[in-house]
Chain A
Amino acid sequence: MIQTKNLTKIFRTEEIETLALNNVNFEVKNGEFVAVMGPSGCGKSTLLNIIGLLDNPDDGNYFFDGTDVAGYKESQRTNLRKGNIGFVFQSFNLIDELNVFENVELPLMYLKIPPKKRKEMVHSVLDRMNISHRAKHFPQQLSGGQQQRVAIARAVVANPKLILADEPTGNLDSKNGLEVMNLLTELNREGTTIVMVTHSLHDAGFAHRTVNLFDGQIITEEFKKELGEALL
C-alpha cells in the first residue's frame, strides 16, 4: 500500500538546514499495523506527515497504492487524502466551536456525502466508539479519553484504508491509553492499515512491526513474530 524510495526531507531556516529524513526506504503492506519509534526530532512525525499527504518530500519517491504521489500538488493531495486516510493526533485536534457530532461529520461533508447518509454514518461510528450519548457535547466538556475516542471516530467515519496515528496515547492516562490501543487494534483486525508514531514500547507492542528511526534514517526493524512473519 505504501512504499517510499530514498525519501528525503530538509527543513530550512535562514541559517540552518536540518535533514529531517535521509533516504528513507519504507514499506507498509495492506492490513499491516506498523509502529514508528525513535527519539524526539528523529523524523518520525515528518515521515508520518509525508505518508499522510500533508507534506511533500524534497527528494525520493512515495508510492501510494502503486502511484508515485511525491510530486502531487496540494489539491491532488487533498483529493487523495479525502476518504483514504484518517488521522489521530496526540492532542486530539478537535474543533472547539463544533460539537462531537459535527466534528465527526466534517470529513463526510468534504466528501460531499448527502446529509441523511452522513447522519447515519456518524451515529453508527459514535455508537461503535461508545460515545453517542455525548454527540451534542463540545470538546471542552469531554475527558481526554473521550476526546480521543471522538478523534478516532472522526478518523474512521469515512472508512479510510489507512489510519495514521501520531502518539495517540501521549496525552492520556494508562487506562484511557489502553482503551485507545484496543480500538486501533480492533480496527486493524477489521482490515484497516495503521501506521502509528509512538514513544511507548508498550503501545508499539500492539503493532506487527516496529521501525526505529534515528537522525532521519531507519536503523532497525523488528517483527512481532506470529503476525509479522505471516504477513511477510
Chain B
Amino acid sequence: MNIINIRSTINHLRNNKFHAILNIFGLAFGFLFFLHISLYVAYEQAYDSFWPDHEKIFRVNYDITQAGEQVLHSTKTPRGLFRVLKDEIPEIEFSGIAYIEQVLVRYEDRYFSDQPDLWVEGDFYEIFNLELLRGKATLNAPNTCIISESKAREIFGNEDPIGKVLIVNEGMRHEITGIFKDLPLNSHIHFDYFMPIRIWVTMGVIPDVDHFYGSSWWTYIKLTEGVSAEMVEKSLETVIDKYFTHLPQQNREGKLTLQPLNDIHFSTLRDGELGVSTQKSTVSALMLIAALILMVVWMNYVILSTALSRKRLNVFATLRKLGASKMTLVKLAISESVIINLGAVVLGAFLYLVTHETFTQMTGVNIRDGLVDYTTILVLTFMLITIGIVITAFISSIPMLKVNPALQQQKKISKNSGSQWLVALQFFTSVFLVISSITVTKQIRFMQKAELGIELEEVIVLNGAASTHSDGRRRENFITFRDEVAQLAGVLNGTASMNVPGQAVRFRNSNISRPEQQSILTQQVPVSHIDDGYLETYGLQLLAGNNFEQPFWNDSINVLISENMVKLLDFNSPAEAINRQIMMDNRLYNIKGVVNDFHHEGLKKPAEPIIFTHVHPYEFGFYSFRITGDVNHVINQLSRIWREHYPNDPMDYFFSNEYFNQQYKDEQRLSKILTWFTLFSIALASLGLFGLVSFYAQQRTKEIGIRKVNGATVTDIIKLLFSFFIRYEVSAFLLACPLAWYFMNRWLQGYAYQTQLSWWIFLLTGIIAIAISLISVFAQSYKAATRNPVEAIRYE
C-alpha cells in the first residue's frame, strides 16, 4: 500500500462521502454487535474456570426414580453424604457441603438485610480455594466467618475488619477471620459471606452426624490426580446401597452422579441450582449470530464498494494503460478496504464504550465484573478483521480485474451477482426477528394479564423479622403485630407464610400417600406453611371445608389442599376429600379445606397441586397484608408499628404483584435483546438493500435515461426498480413466516399457558418489511429517477 494508493483512495471516498459513511457505519455497527456478543460468549464460557484445579472439582447430583418415574432430579443431596464419601471412596481427596441463605447482618447499630451468605462445612475451602487478601479461613471454629473485600469496605470503610464481630439473624455472633478477594461474576458460587454450618450444630439446630433423607445440601468433591469421574460414579453406587437404605423400602431407586464444575453453569434441568444457569444452546446460537453478523456486514461492504468501483472503471482502465499491473489494482482495493475497515473499527470501539451500559442493562450481566480473557478475544478479533479486510478487498477488486484497457468504454458487468439473494437473506432474518419479537412481547403481556387464581394487587409483603429466628414466641409476637396492623384504616387482612407467590415453594415432599392405599405418590408436592389469614389476604376461594383458625394448635394435624391435589389423591370432588386423611413423612394429617387452583409460580408452569399446613414460617418467612387506599400512608403507619414490635430489624417491603412479575424478567430481557437485534437486522437489511439498489440503479443509469426520454415518469422508474426488488422481499417473507411460526410455536410450548400466534403478527410484519424496503428503494431510486436524462444517456 503506497502513498499514492492511499491518497487516491481517500479522494475517491471523499467524492463519494455518503457511500463511504454508510459503509463505515454499517461495518462499525457490525463490529459493535460482534464485540458485545463475543465478549459475552467468552464470559459465559469462562464460568468457574478461574478456580484452581477446576477440572478436578465436581458437584454430586442426586436422582430418585420410582416405577420408572422421576421423583427427584436435584443438584442437592442429604447432609450425611459428604462425611462418608472420603472414607468410602479413596479417590475423593476432599468433600464439603454448602447451604444458601439470605441473612440479616448487624454491625453495631447498622443493619444489612438480605445479605447473600453461603454456609459451608467439611473441606469446602480446600475444594474452593478462595484468594485471601488478609487473615485466614477456618471451619473448625463455628463462630467465625470470612467476608468479601467489597463487603468489608461497605461495612467497615477504612477500619480493619479482622476480629470484628457481625451479628447474624437472631443473634449468632461471627468473628471475621479473613477477607477474600471479590469473586468474579462468572462464578456459580457468588457470595459476600462464608460462614460455618457447625454453628447450627453447637446451637443444637441440626445433629452433628446427619441422616441420608431429604435433599437440601450441595455436595462438592475434589478428586485426586488422574482419577476419572466415571470411576468414582461407579463407586457411588455402593454408597447408595450402603447408606440410602430407606429408598428400597419405598420401592425407589437412588442414583448419585458427578457434574464437572465447568458444566454447572450450563445445567438447566435440575432442581435447585445455586447460581444462574444458561442454556448451552443459547451460547452456541449467540456465537453463530456473531459470525453471521460479521459475514453480512462484510457482504454489504462488498455490495456497496463494488457499486462504487463501477463508477471508476474508466479510471482503472487508464491506470492499466499507464502501466499498472492487476496487482496494483488489487492493492487499490485493499487500501480502500483497510481505510474503511479501520474507520469502522475505531467507530465500533467508540460505540462499544458508549453502549456498554445499555448492553449491561439488557443482559443483566456486567461482564467487566466477570473474569474474561480479553487478550485472547482481542487477538482473535484482530485476526478475524484482518482476514475480513483481505477477503472483502479481493472480492470487491473483481470488477477492477475485469477491466480491459483496450476498450474506450468499459463493458457492463453482469447484473446477476447474487447479491440480491444476500439482501433477501437479510430480509428473511429481519422478518424472522420481527415475528419473534412481537410474539415474545405478546406472551409477556399475556402472562402478566392472565387469571392466576390468586389476587396479587394491593398486597404489600414484609420480610419476616430475622432477629426473632429462634425466639420461641415469634408466632405470638406476629399475631399481636398483625392484630395491631389490622386496626389501621387501609389494612384489610394479614398473614405470615413460608413462601409468597412468584417463588418456588421451598419445601417439596416426595413421601405422600393416602393411608387406605398402598403406594406413595410418584410426584413431589410443594408444602407451604401459612396461617388463617392467607386465603383472605391472597384472595383464594374455599371450595369445600373450612379455613384454618386460631388458636393454631387446633390445626396442628390439619391441612388445606388445592383442587388439583384433590385429583392427585384420587378423590372425586373437593367435598369428598374433607375430613379424609393423608400420610406425609409417616405422619397423618386431616384435610380440613380445599381451595381453588392457582399459579404459585406464574404461567410458565401449570398450576401445581399444593398442600398448606398451619405452621409459622421457619427462619423468617414473609408477612403479607392486603391494603387499600393511600399506600404511602399505610406504609408509614406500618413502619411505626413495626418499629415498636421488631426494634432489632429493619422493615423491608415489596409489592406482591411487582415481585410476581419479576419472574418474567428473563422473558423481558429476551424481548429487549430481540428488539435490539431486530432493529439492527432491519438496519443491516436496509443498508444492504440500499447498496444493492444503488448498484442496480447505477448499472441501469443509461437505461433509465432512455426510458425517460421516451416518456417514462419518475413514478414509472421507481416502479420499475421496486418491481425488481419486491420479488426477493416477498420470497424472503414467505420463507421466513412458516419458519418463524414453527420456532415461535416451539418456544411457546415451553409455557404451560400460551398466547396465540395470531395472523395479525404476520400481517404486521409483512407491512413493516414492505414499508422498510419501499423506503430504502425509494431513497435510492428517486435519485436515479430524477436525474437529468441528458446526463444519464451520456453515462457509460
Nearest chain A CB to B109 CB, angstrom units: 77
Q: Which one of A52, A74, A81 contacts B786 once the chains associate, using CB atoms below 8 Å?
A: A74
- In the complex, chain A residues whose CB is within 8 Å of the CB of B707: 95, 106, 110
Q: Which residue of A lies closest to B703 (CB)?
A: A95
Given the complex of chains A and B, what is the CA–CA distance between A179 and B515 in angstroms? 114
- In the complex, chain B residues whose CB is within 8 Å of the CB of A97: 703
Q: Are B711 and A55 in contact (CB under 8 A)?
A: no
Nearest chain A CB to B437 CB, angstrom units: 40
Interface residues of B in 780-796 (CB under 8 A from A): 786, 788-790, 793
Q: Are A107 and B710 in contact (CB under 8 A)?
A: yes
Given the complex of chains A and B, what is the CA–CA distance between A89 and B711 in angstroms? 16
* In the complex with contacts A93-B706, A95-B706, A81-B711 CB distance below 8 A: yes
Q: Which residue of B lies closest to A91 (CB)?
A: B793
- In the complex, chain B residues whose CB is within 8 Å of the CB of A54: 709, 788-790
Given the complex of chains A and B, what is the CA–CA distance between A154 and B706 in angstroms? 11
Q: Are B711 and A82 in contact (CB under 8 A)?
A: yes
Q: Are B710 and A106 in contact (CB under 8 A)?
A: yes
Q: Which one of B702, B703, B706, B714 contacts A74 once the chains associate, using CB atoms below 8 Å?
A: B714
Q: Which residue of A lies closest to B715 (CB)?
A: A75
Choose among A93, A94, A158 the residue with the greatest number of B CB atoms under 10 Å from its CB: A93
Choose among B703, B707, B711 the residue with the greatest number of A CB atoms under 10 Å from its CB: B711
Given the complex of chains A and B, what is the CA–CA distance between A154 and B714 in angstroms? 20
Tell me, yes or no, whether B712 is within 8 Å of chain A by CB.
yes
Tell me, yes or no, whether A227 is within 8 Å of chain B by CB.
no
Q: Which residue of B lies closest to A111 (CB)?
A: B711
Interface residues of B in 744-786 (CB under 8 A from A): 786
Nearest chain B CB to A107 CB, angstrom units: 4
Tell me, yes or no, whether B250 is within 8 Å of chain A by CB.
no
Nearest chain B CB to A48 CB, angstrom units: 9
Given the complex of chains A and B, what is the CA–CA distance between A95 and B700 in angstroms? 9
Nearest chain B CB to A7 CB, angstrom units: 16
Q: Are A78 and B790 in contact (CB under 8 A)?
A: no
- In the complex, chain B residues whose CB is within 8 Å of the CB of A83: 711
Q: Which residue of B lies closest to A97 (CB)?
A: B703
Q: Which one of B702, B706, B711, B788 contacts A78 once the chains associate, using CB atoms below 8 Å?
A: B711
Given the complex of chains A and B, what is the CA–CA distance between A107 and B711 in angstroms? 6
* In the complex with contacts A55-B788, A74-B786, A106-B707, A89-B712 CB distance below 8 A: no
Given the complex of chains A and B, what is the CA–CA distance between A109 and B709 in angstroms? 13
Given the complex of chains A and B, what is the CA–CA distance between A110 and B706 in angstroms? 12
Tell me, yes or no, whether B713 is within 8 Å of chain A by CB.
yes
Interface of B is mostly: helix
Interface residues of A in 16-50 (CB under 8 A from B): 49
Given the complex of chains A and B, what is the CA–CA distance between A2 and B412 in angstroms? 38
* Interface size grouping (class) on chain B: 10 to 19
* In the complex with contacts A49-B790, A89-B793, A93-B702, A110-B714 CB distance below 8 A: no
Tell me, yes or no, whether A87 is within 8 Å of chain B by CB.
yes
Tell me, yes or no, whether B484 is within 8 Å of chain A by CB.
no
Nearest chain B CB to A89 CB, angstrom units: 7
- In the complex, chain A residues whose CB is within 8 Å of the CB of B793: 89, 93
Tell me, yes or no, whether B716 is within 8 Å of chain A by CB.
yes
Q: Which residue of B lies closest to A48 (CB)?
A: B790
- In the complex, chain A residues whose CB is within 8 Å of the CB of B786: 74
* In the complex with contacts A54-B789, A74-B786, A93-B793, A110-B703 CB distance below 8 A: no
Tell me, yes or no, whether B529 is within 8 Å of chain A by CB.
no
Tell me, yes or no, whether B59 is within 8 Å of chain A by CB.
no
Interface residues of A in 158-175 (CB under 8 A from B): 158
Nearest chain B CB to A41 CB, angstrom units: 14
Interface residues of B in 690-708 (CB under 8 A from A): 702-703, 705-708
Q: Are B708 and A78 in contact (CB under 8 A)?
A: yes
Q: Are B709 and A87 in contact (CB under 8 A)?
A: yes
Q: Are A110 and B789 in contact (CB under 8 A)?
A: no
* In the complex with contacts A49-B790, A95-B703, A110-B709 CB distance below 8 A: no
Q: Are A55 and B790 in contact (CB under 8 A)?
A: yes
Nearest chain A CB to B11 CB, angstrom units: 14
- In the complex, chain B residues whose CB is within 8 Å of the CB of A96: 412, 703
- In the complex, chain B residues whose CB is within 8 Å of the CB of A94: 706
Q: Which residue of A lies closest to B415 (CB)?
A: A97
Q: Are A110 and B788 in contact (CB under 8 A)?
A: no
Q: Are A78 and B713 in contact (CB under 8 A)?
A: yes
Q: Are A110 and B790 in contact (CB under 8 A)?
A: no
Nearest chain B CB to A69 CB, angstrom units: 16
Nearest chain B CB to A72 CB, angstrom units: 14
- In the complex, chain B residues whose CB is within 8 Å of the CB of A106: 706-707, 710-712
Q: Which residue of B lies closest to A105 (CB)?
A: B710
Q: Are A110 and B702 in contact (CB under 8 A)?
A: no
Given the complex of chains A and B, what is the CA–CA distance between A107 and B709 in angstroms? 9
Q: Which one of A52, A75, A93, A107 contacts B713 once the chains associate, using CB atoms below 8 Å?
A: A75
- In the complex, chain A residues whose CB is within 8 Å of the CB of B412: 96
The interface of chain B, by Cβ under 8 A from chain A, is 412, 702-703, 705-714, 716, 786, 788-790, 793
Q: List 12 A-B contacts (CB under 8 A).
A: A74-B714, A78-B712, A79-B713, A82-B711, A87-B710, A93-B702, A93-B709, A97-B703, A106-B706, A106-B710, A107-B710, A110-B711
The interface of chain A, by Cβ under 8 A from chain B, is 49, 52, 54-55, 74-75, 78-79, 81-83, 87, 89, 93-97, 106-107, 110-111, 154, 158
Given contacts A78-B708, A87-B710, A96-B412, 18 further A-B pairs with CB under 8 A are A54-B709, A55-B790, A78-B712, A83-B711, A87-B709, A93-B709, A93-B793, A95-B703, A95-B706, A96-B703, A106-B706, A106-B712, A107-B711, A110-B711, A110-B713, A111-B711, A154-B710, A158-B711
Would you list the 10 A-B pairs with minimal beta carbon distance, nearest first? Answer: A110-B711, A82-B711, A107-B710, A106-B710, A49-B790, A93-B706, A54-B790, A95-B703, A107-B711, A110-B712
